[in-house]
Amino acid sequence: MKTTAYLFKALSEPVRLRILALLTDGEHCACDLMAVLDLPQSTVSRHLAALRHAGWVEGRRQGLWMYYRLTGDKSPLQQQTLTLLRRELVILPQGQQDHEALTAFLATKDKTGCGKAAPDHQ
C-alpha cells in the first residue's frame, strides 16, 4: 500500500500533472517544460525529481541537458492509471493550452541549443 500511495502522492500537484500531459507525446528537454510551464529550472527540476522517484518519468542526460519521458517499465496499476491520464489530461483546457504552447515553443526553438528560442527576424 505504501508504494501505491507514493505513486498517487506524486500526482497530487497540478504542475506534475501538466508535466505528465506534456510528456504523453514523447521525450522533452527540461528547458522545453520550463518554457511551457513558465517556471524556473529549480521548480521544474523538483517536480521532475518527484515524478522520477515515484516511477512516472525517467531521464537521460545529453550534454548539459536532461531529457525526460514517461517510464516504460510500469506496474499494471501504473499502466492503467497512465492510460487514463493520457486520455483525460490532454483534453482539459490547461492540457490543451500547454500542448499548444509546447508546439509553438518547439517551432521557434533554436536548433543549435536547448533552452533558446530563435531570434525574431523581422
Q: What CATH number does the domain containing 28 carry? A: 1.10.10.10
- CA-CA distance, 116 to 97, in Å (whole number)? 21
Residue 45 lies in a domain: yes
Asked whether residue 121 is assigned to any structural domain, the reply reads no
24: three-class secondary structure by DSSP: coil
The alpha carbon of residue 68 and the mean position of all alpha carbons in its chain are separated, in whole angstroms, by: 7
pLDDT digits (tens, 9 = 90+) for 67-92: 999 987 778 888 899 889 888 998 99
Range of the domain at 51: 2-99
SS3 63: coil
- What is the tally of structural domains in the chain? 1
Domain assignment of residue 107, yes or no: no
Give the sheet arrangement for strand 28-29, strand by strand: 28-29, 65-70, 57-62
Confidence of residue 25 (pLDDT cuts 50, 70, 90): confident
Residue 121 has pLDDT above 90, yes or no: no
Q: Domain for residue 106, yes or no?
A: no
pTM, full prediction: 0.86
User: Which band of pLDDT confidence, cut at 50, 70 and 90, is reported for residue 113?
Assistant: low
**Mean pLDDT, rounded, for 87-111:** 89
- How many of the other CB atoms lie within 10 Å of CB of 31? 20
What residue type is 53 in one-letter code?
Answer: H
Whether 20 maps to a domain, the answer reads yes
CA 72 from chain centre, in angstroms, equals: 14
* Cα-based distances in Å from 117 to 47, 59, 81, 103, 108: 23, 22, 34, 12, 5
Asked whether residue 105 is assigned to any structural domain, the reply reads no
> 49 lies in a domain?
yes
